Amino acid sequence: MDPLRSEIPPDGYLAGVGRLVREHGAVFILDEVSAGLRYSTGGAQQYLGVTPDMAVFAKSLWNGYPMAVVVGRRDVMEPAARMFISSTYWSDTIGLRAALTTLREVRRRDVPGQHWRFDAELKRRLNVVAKEVGLDARCEGIDIHPHLHFGVGDAPLKSQVTTKFLHRLFESSAFPLKGFPSTTVYR
């Protein structure tokens, strides 16, 4: 399961899920692909103080290289030692070097701390601007992973407003999608 997105789970929730999963003989797995190293150098699990049986990380660990890693407790990972596991990139030493360098630099530069500070300020400024221009919108959620909420009561209209906002972001230089011409993709 994804440990969190824009809201912190209630105290004890993930630990409770872990207990419930283990009581039923299953493996408690956290998908850290989206969270990555954003919350802390040990991922969302370290930030939340929960230890899964297994976790999956991807591009954030490799600085964008198309690789992933599955980590876990020895007893959970042990069966993999008896299997043949193949990977397209398993001999890619550049990706491995990128991972080691990324981890070193994330720690050295306190990248999670920088994200927390930058995103908190972004959230604050977006709320100030929305208020200044009279837009019924609010930037909410965890500082490091906020989301913009438009104050539109009608669900279909709210969806249209959100979609239009995202299209305008993609068309602007604020959030470009490289390689996709905005004049043809979003119309």
Residues 104 and 29 placed together within one structural domain of the fold: yes
Read off the pLDDT of each residue in 116-123 and give the average, rounded to a whole number: 93
| 179 pLDDT more than 60 | no
Do 94 and 75 fall within a single domain? yes
Instruction: Note the pLDDT of residue 60.
Output: 80
- Out of 1-15, 28-42, 61-75, least confident range: 61-75
Q: Where does the pLDDT of residue 182 fall: very low under 50, low under 70, confident under 90, or very high at 90 and above?
A: very low
Same domain for 118 and 51, yes or no, is: no
C-alpha neighbours within 13 Å on the C-beta side of residue 35: 24
Beta-bridged to residue 116, according to DSSP, are none
Q: Residue 124: which domain range?
A: 112-185
Q: Are residues 25 and 46 in the same domain?
A: yes
Domain CATH number, residue 84:
3.40.640.10
100, HSE (Cβ side, Cα atoms, 13 Å): 5
Is the pLDDT at 136 greater than 70, yes or no?
Answer: yes
Q: Given this model, what pLDDT does residue 168 score?
A: 86
Let me know whether 158 and 175 are in one domain. yes
Q: Quick check: 86 pLDDT over 60?
A: yes
Burial (Cβ within 10 Å: 0-12, 13-18, ≥19) of residue 10: exposed
Tell whether 88 and 141 lie within a shared domain.
Answer: no
